[in-house]
């Protein structure tokens, strides 16, 4: 068992991010067995779930003429326009059926505000609207977080960077995560995580 001060944060292991899904990450389902195996070692297990309304501003379909994966400007900065994914109440938004969900004490749903995207488990993309996860972990005495899931270069990296910024010791298990790698985004995310003091382990 890990110390009680350590938490496992499992990022967005949902059908739409796995092969066959609307925004599939290559090999996204290959990490599930390892993630399931990790859960028993942590006293605190948190799952995050992308949970968008159908009219979400980050969906290319809601911007006439815009192509998926193009960039637009939002009030909070540049935003990738994604294929429609993880719409509330749809099969795509559900956790992958092979993922163990019983060990989780908390499920954080993010991205449910139509006007703002949310990659991080801790903050929406304006960097100020909090999900409440920081308070939950600190109230439980957690000082160290291990992050796994999808995708390494977006939601996992943003969560790890915020964890480090909030004073948690943060580790990303790259072998239990998979990346989208959009235009070099994986290398950029790894550089940012290392610079912030996030430990990258296999």
Choosing from 16, 117, 155, 162, the catalytic residue is 155
pLDDT value of residue 97? 98
* Averaged pLDDT, 104-131: 97
Q: Is the peptide bond before 151 cis (omega within 30 degrees of 0)?
A: yes
- Please tell me the distance from the alpha carbon of residue 24 to that of residue 44, in angstroms, as a whole number: 28
Choosing from 12, 29, 50, 117, the catalytic residue is 12
Encode 62-80: b = buried (16+ Cβ within 10 Å), e = exposed: eeeeeeeeeeeeeeeeebb
Residue 110 a catalytic site member: yes
Q: Give the DSSP H/E element, type plus range, for residue 174.
A: strand 169-178
pLDDT bin (cut points 50, 70, 90) of residue 93 is very high
pLDDT value of residue 5? 98
Choosing from 16, 110, 153, 162, the catalytic residue is 110
pLDDT value of residue 190? 98
pLDDT value of residue 196? 98
- What's the whole-model pTM score? 0.97
Could you read off the pLDDT of 132-175 as tens digits, one per residue? Answer: 999 999 999 999 999 999 999 999 999 999 999 999 999 999 99
Residue 155 a catalytic site member: yes
Cα dist from 83 to 23, 26, 41, 65, 67, whole Å: 6, 16, 35, 13, 9
pLDDT bin (cut points 50, 70, 90) of residue 119 is very high
């Amino acid at each position: 068992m890990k110390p009680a001060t350590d938490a496992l944060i499992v990022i967005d292991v949902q059908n739409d991010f796995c092969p066959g899904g609307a925004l599939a990450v290559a090999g996204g389902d290959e990490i599930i067995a390892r993630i399931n195996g990790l859960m028993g070692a942590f006293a605190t297990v948190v799952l995050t779930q992308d949970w968008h309304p159908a009219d979400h501003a980050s969906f290319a379909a809601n911007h006439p003429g815009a192509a998926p994966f193009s960039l637009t400007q939002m009030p909070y900065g540049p935003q990738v326009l994604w294929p429609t994914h993880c719409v509330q109440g749809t099969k795509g938004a559900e956790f992958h059926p092979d993922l163990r969900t019983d060990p989780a004490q908390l499920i954080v749903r993010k991205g449910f505000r139509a006007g703002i995207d949310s990659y991080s488990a801790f903050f929406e993309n304006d960097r100020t609207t909090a999900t409440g996860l920081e308070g939950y972990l600190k109230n439980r005495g957690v000082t160290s977080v291990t992050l796994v899931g999808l995708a390494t270069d977006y939601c996992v990296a943003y969560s790890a960077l915020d964890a480090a910024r909030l004073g948690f010791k943060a580790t990303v298990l790259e072998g239990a995560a998979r990346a989208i790698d959009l235009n070099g985004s994986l290398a950029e995310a790894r550089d940012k995580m290392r610079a912030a003091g996030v430990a990258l382990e296999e």
